[in-house]
Amino acid sequence: MTDAQIDPAVTRNKERDLINALTRMGSVIVAYSGGVDSSLLSFYARKVLGSKARIVIAISPSLAREELEAARKQADQFHWQLIEVRTAEVELPEYRRNDAMRCYHCKKTLFTELDDLARTQNIQHIAYGANVDDLQDFRPGHKAAREHKVLSPLQDAGLTKDEIRFLARQAGLPSWDRPQAACLSSRFPTLQPITSELLSRVERAERCLHSLGFRQVRVRHENDTARIELDQLELPRLSSDPQLMAAVTAQLQEIGYRQVLLDMQGYRAGSGNRFGKMGRTEGGS
């Protein structure tokens, strides 16, 4: 993303609308994931409301440890006094069966926890990081948000993903250019049952690739096959090095995969839909 893709004056007007909306809230719990959307919302909520803005992250097997640590580090940097809650969506049969409404059950579990927290801490509102671009896609989690009356201030202010990254960079948020980090459950084809053990396998496979310096990584889990997706700029490093590919294959086989494939088309958001009807995900906003 370059600044040429947005109009800074228009973006600043939207920023003002966001600040005004947060001011009117009085107090809010922000559902934080460490992604750029929820990070920007957290930044402005704390800037406007101070301690009346509670920043909360959900801990579950579907959140990669690397993502959690990055989210914690950013929250510490900005003194957000991060609150952590444990959610058990992976234990729900309706979540584990992994149909098209998986994200609905995930968000419903989260928002139920945040409802309880809001009541005990006397917080008036709950908000999450949905943006304008999300309106173009099928997002079952939005249904859960409506049911729980969860607000989407970034969306209401008309902020796009590019504008959010622009403001996040201006704010000095480390997540401003962080690759999209959808939950680990998004690596599974629709209707392939999800377990904590399989989520751990995917996490270890992606951590292996991250340890080799690859930044934008997805390991799609297809039964006993791991299908590796890398950013187009990073792809040649692995595709043109048979020894490195052999080493990666050996490590992923040790983790539990019988076959390891490299997707030569590279990483694209939602690309899992091409294989066995992989489900969409709400991602890490």
* Residues 23-77: tens digit of each pLDDT: 999 999 999 999 999 999 999 999 999 999 999 999 999 999 999 999 999 999 9
Question: Of 251, 188, 197, 254, nearest to 222 (Cα)?
Answer: 188
Checking if the pLDDT of 270 tops 80, the result is: no
What's the pLDDT at 159? Answer: 97
Residue 268: which pLDDT band, with cuts at 50, 70 and 90?
confident
Q: CA distances (Å), 87 to each of 61, 91, 92, 258, in order?
A: 9, 9, 11, 31
CATH of the domain at 243: 3.30.70.2210
Residue at a domain's end among 177, 204, 236:
177
What's the pLDDT at 4? Answer: 52
Q: How far apart are CA 200 and CA 255, in angstroms?
A: 10
Q: Is 69 exposed, middle or buried (0-12, 13-18, 19+ CB in 10 A)?
A: exposed
Residue at a domain's end among 142, 161, 177:
177
Residue at a domain's end among 159, 177, 195:
177
Q: Are residues 137 and 221 in the same domain?
A: no
Q: Are residues 40 and 141 in the same domain?
A: yes
- 92 is a domain residue: yes
CB atoms within 10 A of CB 193: 10
Q: How far apart are CA 41 and CA 129, in angstroms?
A: 6
Checking if the pLDDT of 2 tops 90, the result is: no
* Residues 92-127: tens digit of each pLDDT: 999 999 999 999 999 999 999 999 999 999 999 999
What's the pLDDT at 3? Answer: 55
Q: Are residues 163 and 29 in the same domain?
A: yes
* Residues 217-259: tens digit of each pLDDT: 999 999 999 999 999 999 999 999 999 999 999 999 999 999 9
All residues at 6 or more sequence positions from 1 whose CB lies less than 8 Å from its CB, including other chains: 162, 165, 166, 177
Checking if the pLDDT of 283 tops 60, the result is: no
Q: Are residues 49 and 146 in the same domain?
A: yes
Q: Are residues 89 and 38 in the same domain?
A: yes
CB atoms within 10 A of CB 124: 11
- 129 is a domain residue: yes
- 279 is a domain residue: no
- pTM assigned to the model: 0.90
- Please, how many CA atoms are within 13 Å of residue 177, restricted to the half-sphere of its CB? 7
Q: How far apart are CA 46 and CA 35, in angstroms?
A: 16
What's the pLDDT at 232? Answer: 94
Checking if the pLDDT of 137 tops 80, the result is: no
**pLDDT greater at residue 140 or residue 155:** 155
All residues at 6 or more sequence positions from 252 whose CB lies less than 8 Å from its CB, including other chains: 205, 208, 219, 226, 260
What's the pLDDT at 178? Answer: 86
Pairing relationship of beta strands 225-230 and 217-222 according to DSSP bridges: antiparallel
Token code pair at residue 38: 């929820």
Q: Are residues 149 and 188 in the same domain?
A: no
Contact between residue 158 and residue 81 where contact means Cβ atoms under 8 Å apart: no
Token code pair at residue 77: 């940097």
All residues at 6 or more sequence positions from 226 whose CB lies less than 8 Å from its CB, including other chains: 205, 219, 220, 252, 257, 259, 260, 261
In the chain, % of residues over pLDDT 90: 86
Q: Are residues 70 and 191 in the same domain?
A: no
What's the pLDDT at 139? Answer: 80
- Expressed as residue numbers, the domain containing 237 is 184-274
What's the pLDDT at 30? Answer: 98
Checking if the pLDDT of 280 tops 50, the result is: no
| Cα torsion 230, 135, 78, 9: sign | positive
